[in-house]
Structures are given as structure tokens and as C-alpha cells.
Chains A and B, each alone.
Chain A
Amino acid sequence: MDLRYSESDEKFRAELRAWLNEAVPAHGSAPAVNDWPARRAWDTGWQKKLFDAGYAGINWPKEYGGRDASLTEQLVYYEEIARADAPYVGVNFVGLLHGGPTLMVEGTPEQKAAHIPYILDGSQVWCQGFSEPGAGSDLASLQTRAVRDGDHYVVNGHKIWCSFAQAADYCELLVRTDPDAPKHRGISWLIMPMDADGIDIRPLPTLAGEGEFSEVFLEDVRIPVENLVGEENDGWRVTNVTLRFERGTAFASDMISLQRFVGELIDLAKRVTRNDASAWQDRALRVELGHLAAELDALWAMVKLSVCESSKTGVPGLGGSAVKLFYTELYQRVSDLALRLLGRAGASRSDVGSLPNGMILHRMLNSISLTIAAGTSQIQRNIISERILGLPRDRRPR
């Protein structure tokens, strides 16, 4: 059992850190959250810099232009990205974590050539068209219909929670191509150009008041048949190719950043006064914060353990569900403590005096989505109990 990073990992760290020390300050500060053209430019501009420096697609294979870093180098990468406060993957998320990897496995040579290099260098932005108002956790019950008409599919339906739809060039779209087949067997995976006629994007503000995602209404949208990824009606399997990656190391940078946040809460606790003393002098608070910090350290050890396991088997393990479940609920408990530290000043979402309300309330409100997105906590518990512990499946209607 060896927890040390290798010499080559540390060499990689030193190079990356030196590059980030220059590149991050040079990229400037993030634009306003609802200014989509500026956000797209800022996020994709950063992706281009990563690409030029050879750090884009850290986990992508070399044949697709990625760095193909070892899993421990990936951990180093996420540690350093968080340490440097580098821009988050942002609008590039769907392309880099879903669309690109799916095309690598399932795409035709033409599809790969048309998209993969451009996702990697930041010139092509993707969004996700999976969920529907009636198909959330039960994604396979989706109803958006695609009917073949010559060399096109004609698509009608209603998608929801489409992150970055306003900024995207393409959408990974799940449609029903065979309404008579069992629900998992009549689904297809299409590449939808977002400039096609018949697409109506309506932003759906989050409870944080941000326009992170949209509803997308599709009316007689014509998509060329060559945009089908995988076989017709085999879209459910295609989808599952990439879903596990989302539960693997995708959160690694955020975990490190959350660890740093706990350090910042200590500084905050020293500055706020409770009962005529600094809050940090309250042992109960130190104990509570210590429990959260301990769980975060344990979480990071868990990620290392699961990474070492995957590097032997080659695929992200089911343990990703345990990591996702634990991390997201822990994040919310840390947020609760942060808000309590703000006390009455927490009534404001902008800074009060020297208190970092803006940053804390932003984290607090955004963290509410974590236990819902990418498989709710309840779905993760089903996965753990059924697929890891071997408990009998629920009785579900077919």
C-alpha cells in the first residue's frame, strides 16, 4: 500500500503548476453568470489555452488528441486545477465529459472527425438533451419522437434541464424512434445542430436565479440521418457508455476546492463574533467543522482507492456511486455550516462588510442541485443496494 505520487507524477505536477501560475491570472476574472456570450468566450478561451499547452482532454486517449494521463496524473491535475483556482470546465462540460467520449466509442469516422477535435480545442460547445418533463430519474420513458422522412429524422418534443443550451452548437439528443418497442429498446442517440429550424430555447432560472439551464422545445426539427450515433433504437446502451464517467473522477477538482473552502471557513470563524468571542473559540463549532473536514479527507482517500482500482480494471467502478452520493451530501452539510457562520448577515447574497456572502451563498444555493443532477441521491442508493449489495430490484412496471 503506497500513497506516494511517483517521481513522474511530481514532475508533471511541477510543470503544470508553473504553467497555471502564469495562465490563470492572465485569463482574467469570470464574466457575469447570466452573460452567456461572455461566459462561452471565457470558458472556451480557457479550453483553447489548455489545448495549446497540451493539457486539454487530460483523460482522453492520444489518438483523439488527448493527454491520456495516468489516473494518478489525473488526480494531480485536479489537485492543481483547484489549487490554482483555474476556470471550471464550464460550457465545455457536456462535450468533454459526454459527447466526446460517446463519439470515441460509438461514432462513425465522419462523426469523430466533425466533432472530437473541435470539442477538445474549445471551438465546439455541446449541450445535453436527455431529460424531459415526464422523464427524469426514469429517463428511459422519454417521449420526444423522431420519425424517419427520407434521409432525415423529423423530431418533435420537449426537453428540460438542458445545461448551456443558449451557448451550444450541438446537442446530444435522445429520441424515441420505436414507440412500440419496450421503453429501453426504442431510443436513439442523435447529434442535433442547435441552429436547425424549429428549436425554441426558453431559459429556466435556477433557484439561485441563474440561467444555467433551459427548456428546449422541438417542433418538426429535421436532423440528417447521418447524425445518428450507434444503431437506430440502440440509444439506451449508447447513453450508458458515458454515464459512469460522470460519476467517476468528474468531481475531483470540486472536492479539492471544497477542502479549501473548509480552510476558508476557519478564517471566517475567527473573524465573526458570537457571544462576545470569536466563533472559532467555540469548541462545538471546531468539533463540527473537524468532523466535516475529516469526512472530506476520507472522501479524497476514497477517490484514490477507487482510482487505483479502476486503473487495474480499466473502467470506472460502481464505487463512483458511493463517492457521488457521499460527496454531494457532504457538500450540502458544509454549506449549512457556512451559512450558520454568516449568522444574520446571511440574509444578504452580496457581501456584508468583509464577510464573503457572495461566495458562500453562491456555493450554498448551487450545491442544492448536486444531490439531484447526474442521478439523484435516491437513484445512487438504488444502484448501490441493487448492483453492489445484490438486493432484489424494485418491482417496476415494464
Chain B
Amino acid sequence: MDFQLSEDQLALREGLRSFCEGRVPTDQLPELEKVGGVDRELWSELAEMGVFSLRLSEDAGGVGLGSADAVIVFCELGRRLVPGPLVWTHLAARLVDGAADGTTIVGGVDLAGADAQTLVVEHLDGIDRLLVVRPEGIFLLDPRALSGRALPVPTDPLTPIHEVEALEGGEQVGGPSDAARLRLEGAALVSGLQLGIAEATLELANEYAKGREQFGQPIGQFQAVKHILADMFVRQEVARAAAYAAGATLDDPRVGDVQRAVSVAKTTAGEAAVKNARAGIQVHGGMGYTWEVPAHYYLKRAWGLENLFGTGDEHAEQVAACVERASHASL
């Protein structure tokens, strides 16, 4: 057993981290907002970094890495709030030509979860192809053929939203088991993004708590504040262990129940992202409530990710079902 990041994984993480820090610095988020979501130049650079082809075999032109590696990569993307349908394009690498090399930007809608009626599509103007996941399979649609209207104020300023009239038809590119598998992999990758948010919000809040002074001392010297930060650290570590374990279990199902490991990751990392983002704003005080301080972008992104590939509650129900089966099996 070696649950730590390997040398290669550390290098992968460092590479992505320095790329994202240079290319999507936190103080540039208001600028990205003006671009309105997907930036094609950034997209092709992400493709060159291997973000989309990461898990394709080398024979198929990919990087040949596994799901644990992908979780590490998506954690870095989450830390910098890199905008765009990253997870969908990554998942589409096997299904849609041009997704892996970044020339085709693929978005998606998951209609296989509890919320199957809401017809909103993220990044509709910025994508070339649209995957629709239903319980009966995966369908590929032309986003330009959809009739709908842009909703003027998206909750996450970096994720534009359209309301469409229908999401029917399309070319079927996968069956029911492919759809289920895609949702599992998607949930694991999203847990990586959520872990990244939990990490970044703690980092920002910690830095602020050390520099901001009130009553003649850094606010981080007050237990009332430092205990908020300690709880953020615990949530981050819980999410990290769960997200890594989900990736490792997808890579080697012999170590555990894949559904259970992924659902554990999605529920715990989702909670860490939302709660840490909220706590981060609280630590920033009045400035945290402003648009200028980036803390709010994290909370708004975390809210959106909660609804991708199953909410925390849906996954919690899955975990309960897995535990029920397992405790029956052991009797």
C-alpha cells in the first residue's frame, strides 16, 4: 500500500499548478468574467497540458494515465477556478472527435440524476458539441441546433447559462452502462475540482487571517478565527483522502466498491468545497462580501459543482445503499 502521491504525480501536480497560476491568476477572475466563459486559446493550452487526453491510452494519442492522476489534475484546475466545461470535454475524449486535442469543446447536461427536468445548459455559446446523459444512454447533440435563451445573470459569474426548450434526440454514443460509468467518472473528477476549492479557500483565508489586524493583533491569533481555519483544514483533509481514494478505486476496483468510493468522494468533497468557501468569506469579513475579493467566486462555483453528476445528498443515499449491501454480505 502506498497512498501517497508518487514522484510522477507530484511532478504532474506541480506542472499544472504553475501553469494555472500563471495563466489563470486569481486577480484575473474579473477579466475572465468579461470573456464570458470559454477562452479557446486557454482551451488549447489546457489540451497541450494533457488535461483532456490524460486518460486516453498512448496508442490513442493520449497520456495514458489513470483516474487518480486525473483527480490530482482536476484539483489544480479547481484551485484556480479555471472556467469552461473541463470535466465534460475530458469525459468526451473517448466519444467525440477533437475533444482530446482541444479542437472540439464539448459541454454536457446530466439528466440521469434526480433533477431530470431542468433544461439549463452551461456554456452553450462556447461549445461545439453537447453530451446529454440519460439513464438509457449518452447522446451527442449539436448545440447550435438548440433553441433557447441566455439567462442574463448566471449565479457563477464564470459559468454562463442558457435555458433551452428541449434536449431531445441526438446521436446515441453510449448505452445505459456507459452512461452510468460516465457519471461515476464525472463525479470523481468533480470531487477533484471540489477538493481544489477547499484547498484554495483555506489558503486565501489563512493568508488573510495572518495579515489582517484588529484589536492590535492579527485576527488569526484569536481562537474564534483560528478554529474556523482548523475546521477548514480538517474538511480539506477529509476531502483529499476521499477524492484520492475514489480515483485509486476507479483505477483498481479490487481495492473496494467503486460506487461507494466515488459517492463518498462526491459527498465529502462537495461539503468541503461549499463549507470552506463560505468560511473563507466569513474570515474575510466585510471585504469577503464584496465582488473585489475573489472569495465569492469559489462559493458560487462550489454551489454549481454540487449539482454535477449527483448532489451530495444523492450520493449519500448511494453510500447508505452500499453500506446496507455490504453489511448484509458480511452477515
Contacts and interface: CB of A to CB of B under 8 A. Distances in A.
B264 to A, nearest CB: 4
A289 B245 CA distance: 20
A134 B87 CA distance: 56
Contacts of B248: 1-3
A343 B225 CA distance: 37
Interface string A377-391: 010111011101111
Interface stretch (A34-42, A226-234, A293-301, A348-356): A293-301
B209 A391 contact: yes
A393 B264 contact: no
Interface stretch (B119-127, B135-143, B235-243, B290-298): B235-243
Given A4-B255, A290-B267, A385-B230, A298 B2 contact: no
A305 B2 CA distance: 8
B68 interface: yes
A309 interface: yes
A287 B227 contact: no
Given A266-B323, A283-B317, A394-B223, A1 B238 contact: no
Contact of A263 (B226, B234, B242, B327): B327
Interface in B1-38: 1-6, 9
A287 B267 CA distance: 11
B44 interface: no
B252 interface: yes
Q: How large is the interface on B (under 10, 10 to 19, 20 to 34, 35 or more residues)?
A: 35 or more
A395 B221 contact: yes
B249 A391 contact: no
Interface residues of A, number: 54
A397 interface: no
Nearest to B236: A322
A104 interface: no
Contacts of A307: 3
A267 B330 CA distance: 13
Main secondary structure of the interface of A (DSSP, over half): helix
A298 B266 CA distance: 11
B323 A263 contact: yes
B234 A322 contact: yes
A255 interface: no
B268 interface: yes
A304 B249 CA distance: 14
Q: Which of B210, B241, B267 has the most CB of A within 10 A?
A: B241
Nearest to A302: B241
Contacts of A293: 316, 319-320, 323
A248 interface: no
A380 B38 CA distance: 43
Q: Which of B245, B249, B261 has the most CB of A within 10 A?
A: B245
A263 B3 CA distance: 26
A21 interface: no
Interface string A268-291: 000000000000000100111111
A1 B319 contact: no
A262 B316 CA distance: 13
A4 B326 CA distance: 19
Interface in A53-109: 72
A1 B230 contact: no
A218 interface: no
B52 interface: no
A251 interface: no
A326 interface: yes
A381 B226 contact: yes
Given A1-B2, A298-B238, A302-B237, A286 B320 contact: yes
Contact of B268 (A3, A4, A295, A325): A295
A5 B256 CA distance: 11
Rank and list the top 9 A-B pairs by shortest CB-CB distance, nearest first: A263-B327, A290-B316, A290-B320, A385-B226, A301-B241, A381-B230, A298-B242, A302-B241, A384-B230
12 contacts: A1-B2, A1-B3, A1-B6, A3-B249, A262-B323, A294-B242, A304-B245, A308-B3, A312-B4, A326-B237, A380-B230, A391-B220
